[in-house]
Structure formats: C-alpha cells, structure tokens
Structure 1
Amino acid sequence: MNTFHDDQPSHIEVYAIKNSDQIRDETFRALFQTLSPERQDYVSKFKRASDYQRSVLGDAMVHRILQDKLGLDPMHIEIIRNAYGKPSLKHHDNLHFNVSHSGHWIVCAVSHEPVGIDVEKMEAIDMDIAKRFFHKTEFNALLHCDPSVRLSRFFDLWTLKESYIKAVGKGLHLPLDSFALELLGGEWAPVLGENGETYYFKQYTVEEGYKLSVCGISRHFPKNVQFVTAEEL
C-alpha cells in the first residue's frame, strides 16, 4: 500500500479482500483485537458468522490502509460518521474512504476526494425493483436490452448508483431515481452533482457473479484492484 501525500495528484485506490474458510479463527480473533471498543461491541452483536467475519475484515482492512496512507498509530485513528452514516477520518479531511461488502467480498476505495464504492453478488431479482427505484429512462433501457444481459445490466446500474450516492455522502437519503445513468460509447457518462461537482465511474471484476463499481470526483482510477489477504492485515 502506497503512502498518500498532500502534494500528489488526486487519485483513487481500490482494495478487496475475500472472506474464506481458509482464514483461521486465530486470525479473526487477532484482527478483532485491533478494533476500537465501540466497533468490537458492534460486530459482537452479529448473530451470523459471515456478518461478523465481513465486518471484522472490513474494519481491519480500513484501519490498515489508513495507517499505511497517513503513517498513523492505530490509537490515533478515529472514524466518525456524518448525519447520513458515511464514515470519515476525524482530523483528516484530505483523505476519503468508503467500504462495501456482499457475499464473500469486502472492498474499499480511498482518495483525496470524495469516493464511493459498491459490490453486489448477482442473484435473480424481480425487475419491478428497477421500476420502483430506478429513473424511468434506466428502467426503459433495461426493458429494451437483450434478456440475456438484463440481469447483468441491472446490477451494473444498481452498483453504479449506490457508489454515486455513497460518494455524495447521503446514502439512500438521495433517491436512486433522482438521477439517471447513461452508457455512452461503452463507458458510463459522468454525473453532475448537486453542488456542481462532476462524478466519474469505473467498474472492476473481482469474481464472476459479482459487480463492483466505484465513483469519485477524481478521474484517476487505478487499472486494477489491489487484492489483500487477512494475514497481511
């Protein structure tokens, strides 16, 4: 993990870690001990092992990234959340990060500028969801695309839109149908934010059957995802 410096051009980095049966219980216990007392209390309340494991891995990955980027002692890392639940690092307004998880993947995006990320495991869905939540132009495009790619396109739109509202920092308080995404020349067109900022998009592949989308004010997206392991944390 490279160190961030204030004089560097704003760019985005994307990380991913896979939850696996190969990760030993001892590793999870060690990572759990690195969390703040508040987060330990939070993740301990999960009843399903998979939820507990994803939360521990996600928190540990974020802390390791923030430590490496800023050269901070773990004791000096304090994560706060805005009124909409978006996390940020207290006293460090120049470093933005966002986390998402689905299935056995946990992902994180980091940048000097606002950034959002979303990963989803694809599964059969009722297209009425798109009619209910998507912009009408997006829903119409779904109806007219080849049925063989309709599910894939749905999850393209879902993850892209989720990454945008997370980058903006309002989560689902910003309705998914309040803006429309458009595919132009094989790339997703940028979106103009409420305050005049331009938000850009990029998608990555972590595994077949998953969709991963990133949104940010910076146009400097990485070519590849950086994969990390539990042992590296």
Structure 2
Amino acid sequence: MRVLITNISPLRDEALYEELLRYVPAERQEKIARYGKPEDRRRSLGAGLLLEYGLRSLGCSLLSLMPGTETVHLVRGAHGKPELSGETGVHFNLSHAGDYAAAVFDEGAVGIDVERARRVNVNVMRRQFTAEENAYLQSGPDAFLWLWTRKESYCKAVGEGLHLPLSSFDVLENQVAGRTAPAAEAAEAETAVRKADAGEFYLYTEAPVKDYVLSVCAGHPITGCLVEKVDLRKLFDGIS
C-alpha cells in the first residue's frame, strides 16, 4: 500500500496551475473546468496529479504514449466508484479537503478519506453512528473526525458509497465490524450491508498534517502505514 498527500496551495499560482494541468487526461481537465469555484478546481487537479504520479510509479499512465508505461483508462464500478481498465491489478482511491489532496494505491479494494478539522453539531449526526460510536464521540473534540474519516474510507473501499447506511457498521476497532441493519431499513440498504460484509476490511488513521485527519481502508491488515508527503511542484521533475 502507498498513501500520498500533497498541499495544493501552490496551485494558486496560475502559471504553475496551467503547467501541471497537462499531466492529467482530457476527461479530468473537463471535469475540473466544470467547477465554479477556483478552490474546487485546485482540489480536483491536485487529486488528479497524485493519481497520475502514483500510477506512473506502478508502470501505468492515464496519458497516451508515455514511455515505459501501460496506458489505462478510468471506468466506473457498479456504484460509480472509479476503477482502472484492463488487468493491471492496481486499485486506487482519492480524497481532498481544504488545502490537501490524498491518494492511496493497493493490490485490492481500497478507500481513503481526508478531512479538515471543523465545527460539527454532533447531536445532528448521531443517527450515523452505532451506540458504541456515539459513546466514543464524548471522548474528545477529535473523536468525530476520527470516526467520520474511517466511515467514509470504508464506504469507498467496498464501493457502496451512499447506498450503505453509516450506522450499519462499527469502526472503533481496526477491523470493521458489520452489524445487522434495523428492520426499518429499506431492502436496498439491507442488501448493501450484506454485500459489504462479504469480505473483511481493515482501517488505519493518522493526522498527517496539522488540523487534518486521514483514514484508509483495505481488505488486509494495515501495519506501519506512514502517509508520504509530496510536493506537487516536483512530482514530474525531469518528465516531459
């Protein structure tokens, strides 16, 4: 597993922004252009740059005719999760928040979530957590962000997204514990829970930079996972 994080603040420099834009494929360039706010465009570009950088280290590229790489394309899974075409054996996931973008690469299903510290009305969010998790929320101001990033990374790893009720699984331990969905849950939601529980998933969380929390989730125990900080201004040094 490889986990990358980068500060996207340098992309406020318009010249650097335009220079780095050529390292992401046309599809992402079009996606970036559709964002109305400059900060959203920078986050999307930053995530795209990490994706291309990470893929090249694994012998792949989303850009055509890159020497020494296999050209791959993004496709969508059953619930819209981006995946790579072909039989590369490479799985990835992206996240961004505030001034940071993050990416994770692994040999199997994987998810990542990075969040910036912010004020949250915990009482409003209680329905998203199990009883045990709600008790943990009282342990300190960082408890919510710790739990939330773990929930999000798990949903992204299993590929269910918003189809999976957040209160149907517990993330207090490093191995995700599935729970029985309440009788009142819709049939579709219950199906999603059963599908997600079909495999074992594990979590890892750290605070890679001040005021940010990052969690990753994968289908194997995660040990000694240190987030790698990279300077986006130097990602493609020496590469045309």
State the aligned residue count.
Answer: 213
Residue 101 of structure 1, CA deviation:
0.6
Distance in 2 (CA, whole Å) between partners of 1:205 and 1:84 is 29
Structure 1 match to 2:150 = 160
Structure 2 match to 1:31 = 20
* 1:99 maps onto 2:94 in alignment: yes
* 1:79 maps onto 2:74 in alignment: yes
Residue 15 of structure 1, CA deviation:
0.3
Structure 2 match to 1:126 = 121
The residue identity in structure 2 corresponding to 1:155 is L
* 1:191 maps onto 2:177 in alignment: yes
Structure-2 change in CA distance of 1:175 and 1:73 (3 Å):
closer
Residues 66 and 72, structure 1, Cα contact 8 Å, conserved in 2: yes
The residue identity in structure 1 corresponding to 2:42 is Q
> Normalized against structure 2, the TM-score is what?
0.81
Structure 1 match to 2:68 = none
* 1:50 maps onto 2:39 in alignment: yes
The residue identity in structure 2 corresponding to 1:114 is A
Residues 23 and 230, structure 1, Cα contact 8 Å, conserved in 2: no
Residue 109 of structure 1, CA deviation:
0.7
Distance in 2 (CA, whole Å) between partners of 1:22 and 1:174 is 35
Residues 63 and 77, structure 1, Cα contact 8 Å, conserved in 2: no
Distance in 1 (CA, whole Å) between partners of 2:9 and 2:102 is 14
Given the alignment, which residue of 102, 105, 112 partners 1:117? 112
Structure 2 match to 1:169 = 159
Structure-2 change in CA distance of 1:101 and 1:132 (3 Å):
same
Asked which structure has the greater RCO (Cα within 8 Å, sep 6+), the reply is 1
State the superposition RMSD in angstroms: 2.0
Q: C-alpha deviations, 1:44-92, integer Å up to 9, x for none?
A: 0112111101111111210121122024472123111213221111103
Structure 2 match to 1:5 = none
> Normalized against structure 1, the TM-score is what?
0.83
Residue 140 of structure 1, CA deviation:
3.2
Residues 67 and 74, structure 1, Cα contact 8 Å, conserved in 2: no
Given the alignment, which residue of 211, 214, 228 partners 2:213? 211
Structure-2 change in CA distance of 1:157 and 1:29 (3 Å):
same
Moved more, 66-75 or 13-22: 66-75
Distance in 2 (CA, whole Å) between partners of 1:23 and 1:92 is 37
Q: Structure 1 regions of 5+ residues with no counterpart?
A: 1-11
